[in-house]
Amino acid sequence: MPHASINAERLLARIHELGAIGRDDRGQLTRLAASDSEKLGRDLLVHWLKAVGLDVAVDRIGNIFGIWQSEENAEQLPLMLGSHVDTVINAGIYDGCYGVLAGLEVIETLKEQGVTPARPIVVAAFTNEEGVRYAPEMLGSLVHVGGLDIEAALATVGTDGTTLGSELTRIGYAGTVEPCALTPHAYVELHIEQGPVLEREATTIGAVENLQGISWQRVTIEGVANHAGTTPMAMRSDAGLAAARVGLFLRDHIARSNAPSVATIGTMRFEPDAINVIPSRAVFTVDLRDPDEERLQALENALDAQLRVIMAEEGVTVTVERLARFEPVTFDRAIVEMIEVSASARGFKSRRMTSGAGHDAQMIARIAPAAMIFVPSRDGISHNPREHTDPADLVAGANVLLDVVSRIAGGREVGQPHS
């Protein structure tokens, strides 16, 4: 149904209502996975799903599914839409929530239009996409596709010492449905870009054709604590200096390679953490990303080699723990083309692009054709209370999603082999 439109006022109102849940006395928004504040967000979402007349199912890892099906299409694999409702600490209101609520809005619009889809349509809210309280990120969708054992996932210990399974039980979202029970025919995720490209190029719609591979590691460097004033520089075993060398190496190595790789040392902790003591230990994380698997492996190998050099030259010992590893993903060509066609038909400028951030779509792409739609982020800011997308762009993305859903649920072919 070309040029039908979602209810913009309803979508925007829901985004802001959900965005008010989880704010502290300073107004900061935080809904960590399986926390009390996320429970309130989940409760509101479930209320909306039921109000629209959807069947609600919760699986054992806490993933929420709002299901629209009929007797006529119940035997067909569903088209799945969605994202997540957990946030980072001191977050914005759009990341993840926009995709879930736009999926709900698309279903509600189709129902109001009297459309009878050829297959069920499901909106999903996956557990612990952000990975702030429990690692790894995208945990709920990873379990959904069989990439992580459910018992191991439920036993995951969080940053606060809690276990994910016990917290899901406590907040009432330890479901009974087995993971993977809903295998999708296809998956489409609408999301803010979380980067500056679309805004910089005055482009409304990003047709995301691939997603970067991600490598997370925790590095521990052991040196010797000693007096900061009496130990000559040449006689130190300085874990802090060794850690600093890693960050400089990654920056310079990527600059020389002229590749789109990125590297981030996101956390770092020294011991004994005193101004006048040479650090005896440095523990830090390294986040490496690249859309090409061979380049990502080469970057990992270069880091490993440099750690060996630093160990020899600085007189320290180094150990590395793998935290997460996801290969790059190529999204379904047919769905990407549908996104472009819809954008053009509605008069929106679009471009193909790579996602630099991880999303649930990269997990679902392991078991079904998948793709993503991006809309601009002001100044490229995300994971920040300044996160903002103009209402017109939010509505434009939801209308493109409506078109794509209409085509796929109406029988349009998808299914380029996914990776």
253 is in an annotated binding site: no
Q: pLDDT, tens digit, for every residue of 22-49?
A: 999 999 999 999 999 999 999 999 999 9
Sign of CA dihedral 166, 167, 168, 172: positive
Domain boundary among 275, 299, 326: 326
- Rounded mean pLDDT, 325-354: 96
* In a shared domain, residues 338 and 362: yes
Instruction: Tell me whether residue 415 is in a domain.
Output: no
Phi and psi of 128, rounded to 5°? Answer: 55, 50
Q: pLDDT, tens digit, for every residue of 186-237?
A: 999 999 999 999 999 999 999 999 999 999 999 999 999 999 999 999 999 9
Per the prediction, the chain carries an average pLDDT of 96
Does the model's pTM come out above 0.75?
Answer: yes
* In a shared domain, residues 137 and 177: yes
The pLDDT of residue 42 = 98
The pLDDT of residue 410 = 85
Question: Which domain, by its residues, includes 163?
Answer: 8-212+328-409
Tokens of 151: 């018992």
Instruction: Tell me whether residue 418 is in a domain.
Output: no
The pLDDT of residue 251 = 97
Instruction: Tell me whether residue 335 is in a domain.
Output: yes
* In a shared domain, residues 350 and 377: yes
* In a shared domain, residues 29 and 175: yes
Ranking 72-76, 99-103, 168-172 by mean pLDDT, the lowest is 72-76
Nearest in space to 212 (alpha carbons), one of 271, 287, 268, 113: 287
Q: pLDDT, tens digit, for every residue of 375-402?
A: 999 999 999 999 999 999 999 999 999 9
Residue 309 pLDDT exceeds 70: yes
Beta bridge partners of 57: 65
* In a shared domain, residues 340 and 247: no
* In a shared domain, residues 355 and 231: no
* In a shared domain, residues 194 and 76: yes
What is 203-218 written as a DSSP string? -SEEEEEEE-EEEEEE
> Judging by DSSP bridges, how do beta strands 317-326 and 186-192 pair with one another?
unpaired
Residue 156 pLDDT exceeds 90: yes
The pLDDT of residue 184 = 97
On whether the CB atoms of residues 40 and 84 are closer than 8 A, the answer is no
> Please, where are the H alpha helices in 188-322?
197-200, 239-257, 293-314
* In a shared domain, residues 130 and 161: yes
- Rounded mean pLDDT, 127-141: 95
Phi and psi of 367, rounded to 5°? Answer: -120, -5
Residue 248 pLDDT exceeds 80: yes
Instruction: Tell me whether residue 350 is in a domain.
Output: yes
Percent of the chain, pLDDT > 90? 94
Domain boundary among 326, 349, 371: 326
Domain count across the chain: 2
Instruction: Tell me whether residue 416 is in a domain.
Output: no
Instruction: Tell me whether residue 2 is in a domain.
Output: no
* In a shared domain, residues 340 and 368: yes
* In a shared domain, residues 282 and 339: no
84 is in an annotated binding site: yes
* In a shared domain, residues 156 and 170: yes
- Rounded mean pLDDT, 131-154: 96
Here the CATH number for the domain that contains residue 297 is 3.30.70.360
> Judging by DSSP bridges, how do beta strands 186-192 and 79-83 pair with one another?
parallel
Instruction: Tell me whether residue 417 is in a domain.
Output: no
Residue 2 pLDDT exceeds 60: no
The pLDDT of residue 418 = 42
What is 242-273 written as a DSSP string? HHHHHHHHHHHHHHHHTSS-EEE---EEEES-
Domain boundary among 286, 307, 326: 326
> Please, where are the H alpha helices in 160-213?
164-171, 197-200
- What's the CA gap between 15 and 391, in Å, rounded? 11
The pLDDT of residue 414 = 83
Nearest in space to 404 (alpha carbons), one of 63, 81, 32: 81
- Rounded mean pLDDT, 91-95: 98
Here the CATH number for the domain that contains residue 160 is 3.40.630.10
The pLDDT of residue 1 = 42
95 is in an annotated binding site: yes
Residue 416: pLDDT band by 50, 70, 90 thresholds? Answer: low
* In a shared domain, residues 101 and 198: yes
Residue that the structure tokens 């809005």 belong to: 105
The pLDDT of residue 417 = 42
Instruction: Tell me whether residue 45 is in a domain.
Output: yes
- Rounded mean pLDDT, 102-115: 97
